[in-house]
Structure 1
Amino acid sequence: MEGFKLPSALAAFALVVFISAFFAAADPNTVTIDVNDLPAAAPVDEIRAEPYPGFYDLSRRCISKLTDECGKEVLSGLFNKENKVSQSCCVKLVAMGQECHIGLMKALLMFPDLTENDRNEILTIDNTIWSECLKVSN
């Protein structure tokens, strides 16, 4: 995602989303989100109650499992391949659980400013982060 810049408002919201939470993938080593199956993003001038149904309930269950600092670290790793997620944050990410992680990623990928290529690259990086975190957390 060389040269990809996350708009500041999007970055702020993405951080909030990432610190907050979808359905577990079949393979625990891979995070699977079908970008063609994401709900339509709300128009810019419309604020949607939830990024998708059940998001806030899932977020409330997950938010206490990942610190603000680790949320920032993981989000930073998603948008800059050179930023690595520390072992301590990996442990927290994995402890948060795949359901929470996928829920947060699903909300992040719904941002209308992201192109399909951006989404695919984010998913690729996310799978790398998740796999590496699983390895160092065991």
Structure 2
Amino acid sequence: MGKHSTQLLVFCIIVLICSSCAVKKSLAEEEPAEKKRSWKGHELPPEPYKGYYDWLGKCGEKLTDKCGQQVADFLFYKRIHVSYVCCNKLVKVAGKKCHREFAKTLARSKDFKMHKAQILRRSKQTWAQCSFIDKCVAKAE
């Protein structure tokens, strides 16, 4: 191998090494892909704004798993009513915005899009029933 061939080979190896380092560095600096969120095994749509799912999770924790499951079962016609205790938590603790946003998020998810109208309608019915029950009990006390 001649002197020029060796120099050319060394130059090409250096260029390849530098290129490889630059590519690795640029890949390491890229933003991480958006974390996929799910609810009970169902993939949720992308966050409408940063921190939305953190907020939704915190407001949902106020409802407790048992009551959250009752509300979800009512939305999907697996229950005919939500208990007074859970209605009280929904109205007094979680609140209307939390309930509405949870329903809208489910309705936008890929797995439940075909039930969007039902989810939104039942969500309104849930809120109406629970707020009515809560008002009646408050008047009786």
Q: Give the distance between the partners of 2:56 and 2:87, measured in 1 at CA.
A: 19
Aligned to 2:48: 52
RMSD of Structure 2 on Structure 1 (CA)? 2.4
Structure 2: tracts of 5 or more residues without a match: 1-37, 136-141
SS of 1:136's equivalent?
helix
Aligned to 1:90: 87
Q: Give the distance between the partners of 1:58 and 1:98, measured in 2 at CA.
A: 14
Identity of aligned residues (%): 33
Query: For residues 94 and 67 of structure 1, do their structure 2 counterparts lie closer, same or farther at Cα, with a shift above 3 Å needed?
Result: same
> Shift in Å at residue 60 of structure 1?
4.8
Query: For residues 70 and 112 of structure 1, do their structure 2 counterparts lie closer, same or farther at Cα, with a shift above 3 Å needed?
Result: same
Aligned to 2:40: 12
Greater mean alpha carbon deviation, residues 76-85 or residues 92-101? 76-85
- Please list every run of at least 4 consecutive aligned residues from structure 1 whose deviation after the TM superposition is greater than 6 angstroms: none
Letter in 1 for 2:76: F
Equivalence map 1:1-138=2 (5 Å) = 12-13=40-41, 41=45, 48=46, 51-53=47-49, 54-80=51-77, 82-95=79-92, 96-116=94-114, 118-138=115-135
Query: For residues 70 and 115 of structure 1, do their structure 2 counterparts lie closer, same or farther at Cα, with a shift above 3 Å needed?
Result: same
Q: Which has the larger radius of gyration?
A: 2
Q: Give the distance between the partners of 2:39 and 2:74, measured in 1 at CA.
A: 13
SS of 2:40's equivalent?
helix
> Shift in Å at residue 70 of structure 1?
0.1
Query: For residues 108 and 13 of structure 1, do their structure 2 counterparts lie closer, same or farther at Cα, with a shift above 3 Å needed?
Result: farther
Q: Give the distance between the partners of 1:67 and 1:77, measured in 2 at CA.
A: 15
Higher relative CO (CA 8 A, sep ≥ 6), structure 1 or 2?
1
Q: TM-score if structure 2 supplies the norm length?
A: 0.57
Q: TM-score if structure 1 supplies the norm length?
A: 0.58
Deviations 1:39-71 (A, max 9, x none): xx4xxxxxx4xx321313422541342010000
Q: Which has the higher helix share?
A: 2
